[in-house]
Structure 1
């Protein structure tokens, strides 16, 4: 490294430059960056001071080649804007950050083909572990993940044949339990509103359909769905469509998520339908707004933050070669009953 006449450095700051500035060996600098626990506090402080003063940026690709460890955990989720996944990510980031890992995050836009592309991108960065959403991978993506030979956690749903580790809950049983809850409150003609129609929404529909069919209460026109992304506006539009298709003979609506449920609730109020006396509404995911609307919204709650924490912990356990007693964890769910389904009988 040489100084120019103006005092700035010519060329890129190197690990050797840091070693010279800190008066330590290059090996010590490397250990401070990659294995700080093996270096004395005094040496770490000297090296960190030199790094800060020189503006040195470690070459992570080079260090990963040397140590066979990248310090990177890949995470693939369907949507960066969906608050459901925001909660999961908070849990992942908290655990991974505390353990010294960096999270490389990609958005698959609810597309298996995009997910395959993004998984290839993640694997090209030599991650030490992966966390991905669900089990709807393409055959090619499935093979990529199996051949990667790194710890993998599939989250958000329970899978019959997970690739490695799996954390989630049964959307099928949740859908059936919502129907049972509404029937127990005295409602009979129960509609379903869904959007986006990803695999987890489809499982909720199956649970809903099976529960009604078992009681001989199912009719095809009780379902209103759209492939469009969920929104409050879409929830209102689908509710109007559902009511029109049934000539108003609907006394309860199970919505695939809370955005749709809020839209249905607001539209019902515009139509002067009394909730819950004339109509019950139940959502899914239990977002914060569910508690504060009037009437408050019944919804299915899942420990999303806790799911993110547990997924990250499993990855770290696997990387540390610690025993994992259960590679598939059922997080369960709770139907949070609020005013929108609480009809006095």
Structure 2
């Protein structure tokens, strides 16, 4: 007869209870619930059904102790208020969870010291893996990651350095492509308006410079850079102040869509015709950009694909499997709409 009672005095349902309910050995039940390869599909189905019937919740500490490894993957991102990182995290979790791993999220707020503090907090617990954003960090943080021996994947940027795993795209190439589109459309006084000024924003700026220098049109006075957090409100401020100082500007490349969305709203209030008088472009193709009036021209980044590829690479590293492509370039897509 099936029993839903725990063998523990606490009443907690144990793995042994699940194994008895499913009619399998505890080791088979454990492997089935972890998503380990090599377990017969019928046994996996029986184990999962038994766990669901009994309301079994794995004990992460006990599992780590028994297997000498953690079931947590630490993920460090700059912000959770940015759709860009939320989309990546969602894809990462949807890949790792069925494989038996949980995500432990740390938010760095674009602060190198805060990232270092999070690494000092997470790494002593020996997570199964580590996902970090980009390559710009303190030398101490780099040493902490290297010395930990924890499999690590870098997001958003690429490197060809041996032994380093990365998934992303060339931020500079994307910035150059968007600027070249503005040039092809006949714009000659193109400004770059940016906020937050993290490394990826500055790499896009370098792509902008490359395109304008090649055309003989680069003017450093048209780089409007603010260290403030990116927002719709700031986008409107940058547009209004920039046009007051440089009324000859005929296009603005905003480093992020929220800035560009704010600029379009401000242009509407100021009576600045877009795109006939002023072209406006953004970056990341965030929600709402296709619905703007006019619809926003931008660069679409493959955020979901980035999370999926990074999680797959992480799982292979955790399992000791060879990673066929340690640097995965997902590219980008120029999305041309009405605003530029």
- Mean alpha-carbon deviation: is it higher for 326-335 or for 120-129? 120-129
**Cα shift readout 1:136-165 (whole Å, capped 9, x = no counterpart):** 121111111112222211011123547620
1:192 alignment partner, SS class: strand
RMSD: 2.7
Question: Match of 1:290?
Answer: 289
Runs of 4+ in 1 over 6 A off after TM superposition: 20-24
Alignment of 1:134-173 (within 5 A): 134-159=134-159, 161=161, 164-173=164-173
Distance 1:189 1:21 in 2: 68
- TM-superposed CA distance for 1:210, in Å, is 2.5
Q: Which residue of 1 aligns with 2:299?
A: 300
Partner in structure 2 of residue 32 of structure 1: 29
**Aligned-pair CA distance for 1:43:** 8.0
User: Normalized against structure 2, the TM-score is what?
Assistant: 0.87
Which residue is 2:314 aligned to? 315
The answer (yes or no) to whether the contact 1:19–1:47 under 8 Å persists in 2 is no
Q: 1:207 to 1:141 in 2, by over 3 A?
A: same
Tell me the SS of whatever aligns to 2:339. Answer: helix
Partners of 2:150 and 2:277 in 1: CA distance: 53
| Length, aligned pairs only | 326
User: Partner of 1:3 in structure 2?
Assistant: none
- Flag the structure with larger Rg: 1
Aligned to 2:72: 72
Compute the displacement of 1:113 (Å). Answer: 1.1
Give the structure-1-normalised TM-score.
0.86
Aligned to 2:4: none
2:32–2:47 CA contact under 8 A, matched in 1: no
Q: Which residue of 1 aligns with 2:115?
A: 115
Relative to structure 1, is the Cα distance of residues 119 and 34 closer, same or farther in structure 2, using a 3 angstrom cutoff? farther
Task: Work out the CA distance in 1 between the residues paired with 2:45 and 2:307.
Answer: 36
2:172 and 2:205 in contact (8 A); partners too: yes
User: 1:267 deviation in Å?
Assistant: 1.3
Alignment check: 8 A CA contact 2:232 2:260 kept: yes
Partner deviation per Cα, 1:84-111 (whole Å, 9 max, x = no partner)? 1111112111111222211111111111
Query: 1:270/1:66 Cα in 2 relative to 1: closer, same or farther (>3 Å)?
Result: same
Residues 96 and 312 in structure 1, CA contact (< 8 A), matched pair in contact too: yes
Match of 2:242 in 1: 242
Distance, in Å, in 2 between the alignment partners of 1:204 and 1:170 is 9
8 Å CA contact 1:152, 1:163 repeated in 2: no
Gaps of at least 5 residues in structure 2 are: 1-6, 34-38
Please say if 1:48 is aligned against 2:51.
yes
Q: How many Å apart are 1:50 and its aligned residue?
A: 8.7
Contact 1:178–1:335, Cα closer than 8 Å, also in 2: yes
TM-fit CA distance, 1:240: 1.1
What SS is found at the alignment partner of 1:284? coil
Distance 2:18 2:256 in 1: 57
Q: Tell me by how many angstroms 1:230 deviates.
A: 0.7
Aligned to 2:36: none
SS, match of residue 130 in structure 1? strand
2:3 alignment counterpart: none
